[in-house]
Amino acid sequence: MNTVRLQITGMTCDHCARTVEEALGSLPNVKARVSYEDALAEIETSADIAPERLVKAVQAKGYVATVLDGASSPTTTEGGDSLHVAIIGSGSAAFAAAIRATEEGAQVTIIEAADIIGGTCVNVGCVPSKIMIRGAHIAHLQAGHAFEGVPLNPPAIDRAAMVRQQQARVEELRQAKYQSILDANPNINLIRGRARFVDSKTLRITRPDGVEKTLTPDRVLIATGARPAIPDIPGLQETPYWTSTEALIAEQIPDHLVVIGGSVVALELAQAFLRLGSRVTILARSTFLSREDPAIGEALVKVFEAEGARVRLHTLPDAVAHDGKEFVLSSQIGEIRADALLVATGRRPNTAALGLDAAGIETEKNGAIVIDDHMCTSAEHVYAAGDCTNQPQFVYVAAAAGTRTARNMTGGDAALDLTTMPAVVFTDPQVATVGLTEQQALDQGLDVESRTLDLENVPRALANFDTRGFIKLVAETETGRLLGAQVLAGEGGEVIQAAALALRARMTIAELADQLFPYLTMVEGLKLCAQTFTKDVEQLSCCAG
């Protein structure tokens, strides 16, 4: 008997190793043991079986095999060609994966059905929304800040000018971060068209002119993103309602805007329009930010109402109509009339037209592709990343998933750990969270304690004359280990990463309380909140250590 050792690349889990092991074991007179962790196959075989036959058996299952005394690259096929990666979509996950895959030696084909590249974030999501929110914040400060001696100056809003500046920056970033990468990287090829799986190894692409092309890549990444989800309200589909896409480029400020939704996009845009001069009514199916600590939603309702919004919780329209001039909403609180309607009730994965059943790819009821922490789908060599999956819909999660997917497609082993994922809602005050809420910890059977520090105890908030909000920390009772943080504060998004790093480092509340934090920063509130587990911070000096 001979012993042959193969390096196996492309395996992403123990199931892959068993698949390779079975493929090798099906050959006559072959006994194989395959280790996923070592990316190695140790094979005992009779002398009449050439190593090339073993390699072909592995490659028939879609993996790359190299005899250890040879010199083959994990990003080459048996014939020496570069590994071919097809990516459906052109957003953040897609480009992060494409860049990394080419760095690993692969050839990449990006398939995009839309007229423009770049996906949601740069075109109709993060970038334009944060520009609008910032402009609205400036208008709000001009009209209503708390500083004596500085005259208030309610601005005259030129919304069309705001949109022009906003969209110019969108186009600039799309060119710099997406198109220029395509132009400069010869190993990334863009195909315009709609992709659909024929089977798990074959894609059929329909170009805009109707011509079809078949592609058989070595690996496939699905990164098709998501679109606004529209609730089934009678009459709604027949009206000219807005989603966030239309709202962000609207060149007129509506006199009265109704917003349906109580989550991230709904609240961010509702407050922006409110501060730009609209009367705003918010109809939320349940509460504000219902997945967060209830105290956050309750406090935000007070903030919005103090700024003039009309908030109705546990309320959705029974029907919607448009009479040519106004929207007419029938509801349990009576008839509501408005000249604009924004529907922001979540986002739905763009997966319905991909033919996932033909490839054996598992999805959830809403169409989200089920993946593991290596971004593997239920089909071998097919991966998914970003908003089309069952992962959280954040652009930084998508980009991190894309990069790790590329490593896995080219022979690496990279998991995406979301246990310390920070999240930010760009209302004012901002909502920023990481880790477990108190209820989530209790639901997991953990014995926990928590403390909440109102911002009136944070010197920076006092200096800003803005004490709206709080900082809450959740810790394990026995060990004192930090389990989660919830922040409602101006610039809360700049605070939460410190909590995320503390969580990642498995710090205790005592260790967090003992850290040095610069005075008159909002992040000092983390230290002060940690100190409340053992002290009355109202009895400390302004920057007591």
pLDDT digits (tens, 9 = 90+) for 112-146: 999 999 999 999 999 999 999 999 999 999 999 99
- Whether residue 285 contacts residue 345, with contact meaning beta carbons closer than 8 Å, is answered with yes
Residue type, 531: Q
13 is catalytic: yes
Query: The tokens 């480009």 sit on which residue?
Result: 95
Asked if pLDDT for residue 72 goes beyond 50, the answer is no
First to last CA, the chain: 71
CA distance 443 to 17: 35
The number of beta carbons lying within 10 Å of the beta carbon of residue 50 is 11
The answer to whether the Cα torsion of 122, 284, 348, 394 is positive or negative is positive
Mean per-residue pLDDT, 287-299: 98
How does pLDDT run across 372-388, given as a tens digit for each residue?
A: 999 999 999 999 999 99
Asked if pLDDT for residue 71 goes beyond 60, the answer is no
β pairing state of 347-349 and 226-228:
antiparallel
Cα separation values, 382 from 10, 376, 412, Å: 11, 7, 15
Q: Which of 16, 162, 507, 522 is catalytic?
A: 16
Mean per-residue pLDDT, 311-336: 97
How does pLDDT run across 487-531, given as a tens digit for each residue?
A: 999 999 999 999 999 999 999 999 999 999 999 999 999 999 999
Q: Which of 1, 36, 121, 178 is catalytic?
A: 121
How does pLDDT run across 27-47, given as a tens digit for each residue?
A: 888 899 998 877 889 998 875
Task: Say what the pLDDT of residue 7 is.
Answer: 84
16 is catalytic: yes
522 is catalytic: no
DSSP single-letter state for residue 354: S
Task: Say what the pLDDT of residue 74 is.
Answer: 47
Asked if pLDDT for residue 452 goes beyond 90, the answer is yes
Task: Say what the pLDDT of residue 48 is.
Answer: 60
529 is catalytic: no
Beta-bridge partner residues of 513: none
Task: Say what the pLDDT of residue 70 is.
Answer: 39
DSSP H/E element including 248: helix 244-248
Q: Which of 338, 360, 113 is nearest to 227 (CA)?
A: 113
User: Domains in the chain, please, with CATH?
Assistant: 2-67 (3.30.70.100), 84-118+167-228+348-409 (3.50.50.60), 236-345 (3.50.50.60), 423-539 (3.30.390.30)
CA distance 301 to 455: 17
Q: Which of 16, 47, 13, 353 is nearest to 196 (CA)?
A: 353
Query: The tokens 């920076």 sit on which residue?
Result: 460
Task: Say what the pLDDT of residue 537 is.
Answer: 81
Beta-bridge partner residues of 108: 85, 188
Q: pTM for the complete prediction?
A: 0.85
SS (H, E, C) 80-98: CCECEEEEECCCHHHHHHH
CA distance 353 to 84: 23
Mean per-residue pLDDT, 88-111: 97
Q: How confident is the model at residue 73 (pLDDT cuts 50, 70, 90)?
A: very low
DSSP single-letter state for residue 286: S
409 is catalytic: no
Mean per-residue pLDDT, 315-327: 97
Q: How confident is the model at residue 456 (pLDDT cuts 50, 70, 90)?
A: very high
Q: What is the share, in percent, of the chain residues with pLDDT greater than 70?
A: 96
How does pLDDT run across 262-274, given as a tens digit for each residue?
A: 999 999 999 999 9
Q: Which of 63, 178, 241, 383 is catalytic?
A: 63
Beta-bridge partner residues of 433: 423, 486
Q: What is the share, in percent, of the chain residues with pLDDT greater than 90?
A: 84
How does pLDDT run across 186-203, given as a tens digit for each residue?
A: 999 999 999 999 999 999
**Helix/strand/coil for 213:** strand
CA 323, 305, 491, 175: dihedral to nearest 10 degrees?
A: 0
